[in-house]
Structure 1
Amino acid sequence: MSRPVVAIVGRPNVGKSLLFNKLAGERISIVKDTPGVTRDRIYADVEWLNHDFILIDTGGIEPDSKDIILSQMREQAQIAIDTADVIIFMVNVRDGLVDSDSKVADMLRRSKKPVVLVVNKVDDFDKYMPDVYEFYNLGIGDPLPISAAGKLGIGDMLDKVVEHFPDYSVLDEDDDRPKVAVIGKPNAGKSSLVNKLAGEKRTIVSDIAGTTRDAIDTEIKYNKKKYLFIDTAGLRRKSKIKEDLERYSIIRAVSAVDKADVVIIMVDASMGITEQDAKIAGISHEKGKAAIIAVNKWDLVEKDNNSVKKFTNDVKNILSFMPYAPIIFISAVSGQRVYKLFDMIDAVIENSTLRIQTGVLNEIVTEATAMVQPPSDKGKRLKIYYVTQVAVKPPTFVIFVNSKKLMHFSYVRYLENKIREAFGFEGTPLKFIIRERTEK
């Protein structure tokens, strides 16, 4: 199920990150074994009155000179226009209307995307309202007064935001094509892969990182079956700044992964695997998506008998949080092994929707606990009453126990490995929920 994407845009120091953090709440936890994903806090899942949406913070870089600020703001506005369903454009009542606000407003107006204009730092509505009205001059609708720090006016702002949401439920229901997101660092070969599979030059591909324009979803037919490939390239102008490019590729990946049934994580073999790959892969893992790791440009690598093994170990090392994802070595340009991806896509989607009967599941868990005793503490031992599967995509299991405290992370990992040994589940993460209940 796709969710709307909302982006916050505005000059440095108007309070974007503060608003982002307030809306995201404390629920953005730092997940221990997913490197660098949540620490960047570029995106968060937010709920408001039965609406779920993804919030992205386009901020991040705060340059010194005026003209750099403007070009940065334009870059950020472009990211928001490309990616978001609704844009929150933030200005600041203390500074009043500034030239760069007007220039960005022009871009936003031309984009035809819904924009909610918010005027921040209005700590006292009576006192500041005359200053708020000045922002009508931007010509993008009614300015809404808020105070991100004081949490004033935020409910009204969110009401306005959700009014603009497209009705995704209607769009999603009758589409049973597997949706495949292709994500990876700039220039990992995402567009080349989609072009190869589609058999046509559909996007502009060149060797300059970040040159793909206007991401379009592409339907590809293979063996009489239709697949929808969601492109995440889409950087319009070449950014000089590496952080910008990286931030951008993460933001694009977030919204694509959200829509996908399966994610292909592209790694550039000629560059080796890096922490940035881990950040991008982490998005797929955090969202519980089925995944395949495609090591691209394998034809460019000097090889010996150990090359595949060595590169596989590197991948497993850096992407240690997703040992379930199968690895395939391809060349998008020459077409080497690219069509094998379709079989893998079908297989991992099937695994992510697999349901295991409760009886069979409990036999496996009983056997596992007999082989390795559950942990104990101060004479009290963990008891597992029973396990049941409650959801798919990803397969989600509830484990009923006598004490949550005794259920160590490592023991959950052990049970996961046993369940995988029995049922495969290659390519999909598994989710475990631990519930406590008293002995009957």
Structure 2
Amino acid sequence: MPFTIAIIGRPNVGKSTLFNRLVGQKLALVDDVPGVTRDRREGEAKLFDLNFTIIDTAGLDEGPKGSLTARMQEQTETAIALADALFFVIDARIGLTPADRAFADFARRADKPVLLLANKSEGKHGELGAMESYALGLGDPIQISAEHGEGMGELYDAVSKLVPPTDDEDDERDETDEERANRPIRVAIVGRPNAGKSTLINHLLGEERLLTSPEAGTTRDSIAVEIEWKGRGFRIFDTAGLRRRSRIEEKLEKLSVADALRAVRFAEVVVLMMDAQNRFEEQDLRIADLIEREGRALVIAVNKWDLMDGNPGQISMLRRDADHWLPQVAGAPIVAVSGLMGEGIDRLMQAIVEAYAVWNRRVPTAALNRWFEGAIADNPPPAVSGRRLKLNYITQTKARPPSFVLFCSRADAIPQSYLRYLTNSMRETFELPGTPVRITLREKANPFAHKRKRPN
């Protein structure tokens, strides 16, 4: 189990900025508005030769029992319980506040090593605020600037007394085929706001890991959680709800949407979650099209199925609707679920595993060209401007998603309708339902192009 450090403190002192600095990328959303972070977020931190797990938390704040603020604090308390040590962060430019003093007592009661970090210490005002922090009784403050990377050497000296150095040799060795096969499948859960994404993941985990609320927009960051199902590992990303671009006005929501789109690009399988009572709306179709353009395997989950009337034939209707509205990913698996009641969860996980296998599929070249000859014989390519189009052969260049190169004459003249015919025929023949299929056209070199015509 890696050494774990939780970053705690009141809202807007720079916890997420420090988290991003330590993990080496902008994973956590950062904004001047307090309370951006709501769920706890984990990452693999590296500080020179030290490697450890870092947890970003919501700002410590008080609220009535059962409120979103109170549940955010419960998430922070869980992070503290999981951690081996704490970074208690204050804003050195503002100096100590009553909230800092109250939560310093909270940190002391955790009975774990606490490093006091005076963030935003650059400049004269930061120096004065750092001196004030001695009054908290948490030891000498470490003056840092998470935004500018100042004070990382001093932070290293303090952390190195807690975390043993690690050997980088294991990190640099090549990944074996067995390790690659056992690597967790990266899954992003996306959809419109309030489709029930966080509720579904909480049921998978068996705990209230992610904050949920009837109010749309509760999730802001893309939070990654690890689960295991039937011996297979999954790394699942909960994302912010995706609304139409015209309705996104606030800067914070724009950041949340950008974070969700990054999760889609990082994922291998994307679960598009729809509300059973309002399914296949325009925004659902736009999101599905985005997933196809990014080349990710798609699984459609129709949530809140427990609210439907249960008439026979409903599942068949879902299949027909999916193929009608999403022809570009024909055959994509569609599963009716209830994240709240836990219905259909096993079917959803099985669909993810199967979609991942299809996304990685390679078609033997001999079988591919036998199909190709038959497809052309059944439906020859049309003549364009009185000239016949010649299709020579096809080969698969890569998987993830299945991608092919078709060698032909006059690539710019082949109609898109004929490429769709080939794509759909390939899906049916080689069982590639739902996954994006890429066909790139390449003109075969003319062996006589270099010869000049003889003069008359």
Contact 2:221 2:256 (8 Å CA) reproduced: no
| Mapping 1:243-258, distance limit 5 Å | 244=250, 247=254, 250-258=257-265
What does residue 423 of structure 1 align with? Answer: 430
Percent identity, aligned pairs only, is 36
8 Å CA contact 1:191–1:233 kept in 2: the answer is no
Match of 1:376? Answer: 383
Contact 2:365/2:395 (8 A) holds in 1: yes
Cross-structure match for 1:305? 312
| Alignment partner of 2:291 out of 284, 290, 300 | 284
Matched residue of 1:299: which SS? helix
Structural mapping, 1:169-184, within 5 Å: 176-184=183-191
Deviation at 1:247, TM superposition (A): 4.8
Counterpart of 2:417 in structure 1: which amino acid? S
C-alpha displacement of 1:317? 3.8
| Number of residues of Structure 1 aligned to a counterpart in Structure 2 | 297
What is aligned with 1:435? 442
Change in CA separation of 1:140 and 1:350 when aligned onto 2, cut-off 3 Å? closer
Could you say which structure has the larger radius of gyration?
2
If the length of structure 2 is used for normalisation, what is the TM-score?
0.57
Kindly report which structure 2 residues correspond to 1:44-55, keeping only aligned pairs within 5 A, or say none: none
Deviation at 1:308, TM superposition (A): 3.2
Aligned counterpart, 2:341: 334
Q: Is the 8 A contact 2:318 2:334 kept in 1?
A: no
Corresponding residue number in structure 2 for 1:361:
368
CA distance in 2 between counterparts of 1:336 and 1:172 reads 40
Which range moves more in the overlay, 416-425 or 391-400? 416-425
**Within 5 Å, which residues of 2 pair with 1:12-411?**
74=32, 176-212=183-219, 214-233=221-240, 244=250, 247=254, 250-411=257-418
CA distance in 2, matches of 1:432, 1:210: 38
Cα-to-partner distance string for 1:77-115 (whole Å, 9 max, x where unaligned): 959xx9xxxxxxxxxxxxxxxxxxxxxxx99xx9999xx
Assess if the C-alpha contact under 8 Å between 2:269 and 2:298 holds in 1: yes
Distance 1:396 1:214 in 2: 32
Separation in structure 2 between the aligned mates of residue 261 and residue 373 of structure 1, nearest angstrom: 35
Please tell me whether the aligned partners of residues 388 and 398 of structure 1 are also in contact (alpha carbons under 8 angstroms).
yes
Partner of 1:413: 420
Q: TM-score, normalised by structure 1?
A: 0.59
Contact 1:215 1:234 in 2 (8 A): no
Cα distance in structure 2, aligned partners of 1:76 and 1:319: 40
Cα RMSD, aligned residues only:
4.0
**CA separation in 2, counterparts of 1:247 and 1:112?**
26
Q: Which runs of 5+ in 2 are unaligned?
A: 1-24, 42-92, 95-116, 121-144, 150-170, 448-456
Task: Note the alpha carbon deviations across 1:122-169, whole angstroms, 9 max, x for none.
Answer: xxxxxxxxxxxxxxxx99669xxxxxxxxxxxxxxxxxxxxxxxxxx9
Tell me the distance in 2 between the aligned counterparts of 1:182 and 1:394.
19
Separation in 1 of the partners of 2:398 and 2:439? 11
Residue 165 of structure 1 is matched in structure 2 by none
Matched-pair contact (CA < 8 Å) for 1:186–1:246: no
**Distance between the aligned counterparts of 1:140 and 1:335, measured in 2?**
42
Deviations 1:171-210 (A, max 9, x none): 9966611111111111111111111111111011111111
The answer to which of 395-404 and 171-180 deviates more is: 171-180
Distance 1:390 1:199, change over 3 A: same
CA distance in 2: counterparts of 1:191 and 1:178, whole angstroms: 18
Is the 2:272–2:300 contact (alpha carbons within 8 Å) kept by the matching residues of 1?
A: yes
Please report how far the alpha carbon of residue 356 of structure 1 lies from its aligned counterpart in structure 2 after TM superposition: 1.1
Query: Conserved in 2, the CA contact under 8 Å of 1:221 and 1:227?
Result: yes
Q: Supply the distance in 1 between the matched residues of 2:222 and 2:211 (Cα, whole angstroms).
A: 10
Distance 1:399 1:205, change over 3 A: same
Higher relative contact order (CA 8 A, sep 6+): 1
One-letter amino acid of the counterpart of residue 383, structure 1: K
Q: Secondary structure at the match of 2:300?
A: strand
User: What's 2:3 paired with?
Assistant: none
